[in-house]
Amino acid sequence: MSGKTNIRAHIILVTKYRKKILVDDLLSIFRIITEETTKRKMEVIAINGENDHIHIMLKLLPTQTISLIVKLIKQLTTYHIWRKYPTLREHYWYKNVLWSNGYFCSTTG
């Protein structure tokens, strides 16, 4: 039996301690997120943000889980930012942390 789905999720990620460090690199973060989600058969409907958080609206398949998507996005963007701007790690005591522990997600219809 085949079904039709239209699953959309609004995800908000916040930098750890709300540090305003995404100033210079928002567009490359958006590009990475768009490329990686497209590879995994997701569609970025909209993406936006400011220097301490980002908003992502995704269209998902029923087999994809929000928690794994958020984990993937956090890992890829953290790796990219630390590699491109190693001095930013000073803000986090050289820990491998860019994003806060949680996230916000709301499904939309």
pLDDT reading at 14 higher than 90: yes
Report the first-to-last Cα separation within the chain, whole angstroms: 23
Radius of gyration of the chain (CA): 14
CA dist 20 → 52, 59, 96 (Å):
5, 28, 17
Mean of per-residue pLDDT scores for the chain: 88
DSSP 15: B
pLDDT band at 29 (very low <50, low <70, confident <90, very high): confident
pLDDT band at 94 (very low <50, low <70, confident <90, very high): low
pLDDT digits (tens, 9 = 90+) for 34-60: 999 999 999 999 999 998 999 999 999
Average pLDDT of span 85-105: 84
Average pLDDT of span 14-41: 87
pLDDT of 1 reads 44
Q: 35 phi and psi, to 5 degrees?
A: -65, -45
